[in-house]
Amino acid sequence: MRSHRIRDVMTLFFDPRVFPLFVIGSLALAAAGNGVYALLVDWLGDEPQDHLAILVVALLVLLLAAVLLSAILRLLRKQEVVITNQPNPQKRRGLIFLVSQEDTLAKAFQYHRPELTHCWLICSEDSLNLAKEFKEAHEADLQAMPVKVIADPFDWRQTQNAVNEIYRAKPEGWSESDIITDISGLTKLATTGAILACLTPGRPLQYVPAIYEMRGARRVPIAAGDPIEIIIDYGAIKP
């Protein structure tokens, strides 16, 4: 956040619409250019042929920078993020769950047992009782089962911050990939916040799908299925 503020302020020094700051930025840039030129003169000399050498060096540096930038932009254009579903995910020691439905919570919890030792329950005021009841029934099986209440489940930032805080305070010796975040519960905006927190590579995501059966012309959910991990591949290259 701080780096973004500094960057935004710096751009004002090169924006002609903010004339006083633009003058200061232009003068500073000119002074820096003169300083670099003086250093090159001290290094190469002040004869006419030395000035020619300085010009050649400057052009070569500019050409090299253009070539490198072009290569980087081509590489970035070829990259895309590929998202796939992976059934039967690896069982984790840690589980973050967005609490709103007991069946999906129970399914995710039992799936990762007995490897599971820590489970963080993120809930709203409406689902707090469910989280407390589940904790009372299962916390004896784990080393830790904290409940984190978010005030507004429709504010994605609150969920994002809650998930980030859990990862920052993860148990000593754990990697972030030891904890998987389940996005099956709460609101769609809360789910969005959890996903944004897990866009950092190494933070796995999963969801618990519903199992349906046909009843007449309608598909009706009858149970919760095994979790499915969401694989986000940041390094996929287009052919």
Mean per-residue pLDDT for 192-206? 92
What is the structure's pLDDT at 35?
Answer: 66
Residue entry with tokens 């407390």: 132
What is the structure's pLDDT at 144?
Answer: 92
Are residues 51 and 161 part of one domain? no
- pLDDT band for 66, please (50, 70, 90 cuts): confident
Where is the domain boundary, 80, 99, 125? 80
Mean per-residue pLDDT for 54-76? 72
At 199, list the tokens: 């866009």
Residue 57 has pLDDT above 50, yes or no: yes
What is the structure's pLDDT at 9?
Answer: 61
Question: Residue 181: how many CA atoms within 13 Å on its side-chain side?
Answer: 30
Give the whole-angstrom CA distance, residue 171 versus residue 178.
Answer: 10
Are residues 179 and 123 part of one domain? yes
Domain range for 171 is 83-237
CATH number at residue 224: 3.40.50.10770
Mean per-residue pLDDT for 51-66? 71
What is the structure's pLDDT at 239?
Answer: 47
What is the structure's pLDDT at 200?
Answer: 85
Q: What is the mean pLDDT of the chain?
A: 83
Are residues 129 and 149 part of one domain? yes
pLDDT in tens, 77-105: 655 667 788 899 999 999 999 999 999 99
Are residues 63 and 14 part of one domain? yes
Domain count, the chain: 2
Are residues 72 and 110 part of one domain? no
Are residues 98 and 72 part of one domain? no
pLDDT in tens, 107-156: 999 999 999 999 999 999 999 999 999 999 999 999 999 999 999 999 99
What is the structure's pLDDT at 110?
Answer: 94
Are residues 228 and 113 part of one domain? yes
